[in-house]
């Protein structure tokens, strides 16, 4: 597992008005502890406001982000995924990341954005419920998996009630934790299992 503090390729966290700030905190906190730099990316560098009222100043504009420079692109849910086309450029960027072999993780409404962009047509995936994605008119319904989170190659998807499972898949994909340590991490943060803490402590994980 990677728990050092050596700077690594950045993890890009997309931020936009109405983004669901609670959905990515487990992932970004533990990636940062493992030495990944978290860089926020907006449509521009103008401040945005999360669904929880947090004002965020993006580090970078989406146009200045290159897939080959990063370790991962995280797309949180947001009301805007379902109420406008404003976030379509982020789904387009996700396609570029995947084409370059750089992982993408999408949760909640961001999965619908990827569906509209055709990125789920041939990949196993999940979301809130199957009919939520079916409403987008996408062609990937046969690849929908009714579970907490799914990883298919370089793509992670999860529904809005599964931020811990979403983080678990990201931490596995980037090799931060694996095996019994990853299982213990999940049991601690998802199930409040006190025995899991002892496993993490013995492994030097936090």
Q: What average pLDDT does this structure show over 80-88?
A: 96
Contacts with 119 (C-beta within 8 Å, 6 or more apart), sequence order: 91, 94, 95, 98, 155
Q: Are strands 155-158 and 149-152 parallel, antiparallel or unpaired?
A: antiparallel
Q: What average pLDDT does this structure show over 151-175?
A: 97
User: How high is the pLDDT of residue 202?
Assistant: 87
Contacts with 162 (C-beta within 8 Å, 6 or more apart), sequence order: 107, 148, 149
pLDDT tens digit sequence for 64-81:
999 999 999 999 999 999
Contacts with 142 (C-beta within 8 Å, 6 or more apart), sequence order: none
The pLDDT confidence band at residue 3, using thresholds 50, 70 and 90, is very low
Is residue 108 part of the annotated active site? The answer reads yes
Cβ atoms < 10 Å from Cβ of 40 = 18
pLDDT tens digit sequence for 5-34:
456 799 999 999 999 999 999 999 999 999
Domains recognised in the chain with CATH numbers = 8-175 (3.40.50.880), 178-206 (no CATH)
Residue 19: name the closest of 28, 9, 32 by CA. 28
User: How high is the pLDDT of residue 204?
Assistant: 82
pTM of structure: 0.94
Phi-psi region of 137 (alpha: psi -120 to 50; beta: other; left: phi over 0): left
The pLDDT confidence band at residue 4, using thresholds 50, 70 and 90, is very low
Catalytic residue among 72, 73, 108, 165: 108
Predicted confidence (pLDDT) at residue 1 exceeds the cutoff of 70: no
Contacts with 64 (C-beta within 8 Å, 6 or more apart), sequence order: none
DSSP letters, 110-178, are: HHHHHHHTTTTTTS-B--S-HHHHHTTT-S-GGGB--SSEEEETTEEEE-TT-HHHHHHHHHHHTTSS-
């Amino acid at each position: 597992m990677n728990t050092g503090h050596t700077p690594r390729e950045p993890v890009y966290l997309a931020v936009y008005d109405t983004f669901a700030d609670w959905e990515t905190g487990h992932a970004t906190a533990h990636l940062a502890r493992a030495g990944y730099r978290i860089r926020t990316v907006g449509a521009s560098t103008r401040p945005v406001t999360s669904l929880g009222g947090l004002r965020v100043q993006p580090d970078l504009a989406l146009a200045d982000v290159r897939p080959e420079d990063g370790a991962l692109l995280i797309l949180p849910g947001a009301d805007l995924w379902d109420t406008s086309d404003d976030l379509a450029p982020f789904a387009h960027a996700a396609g570029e990341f995947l084409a370059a072999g750089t992982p993408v993780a999408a949760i909640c409404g961001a999965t619908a954005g990827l569906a509209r962009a055709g990125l789920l047509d041939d990949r196993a995936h999940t979301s809130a419920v199957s009919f939520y994605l079916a409403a987008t008119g996408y062609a990937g319904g046969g690849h929908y998996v009714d579970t907490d989170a799914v990883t298919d190659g370089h793509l992670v998807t999860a529904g809005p009630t599964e931020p811990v499972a979403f983080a678990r898949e990201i931490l596995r994909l980037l090799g931060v934790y694996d095996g019994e340590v990853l299982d213990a991490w999940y049991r601690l943060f998802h199930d409040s299992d006190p025995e899991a803490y002892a496993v993490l402590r013995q492994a030097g994980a936090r």
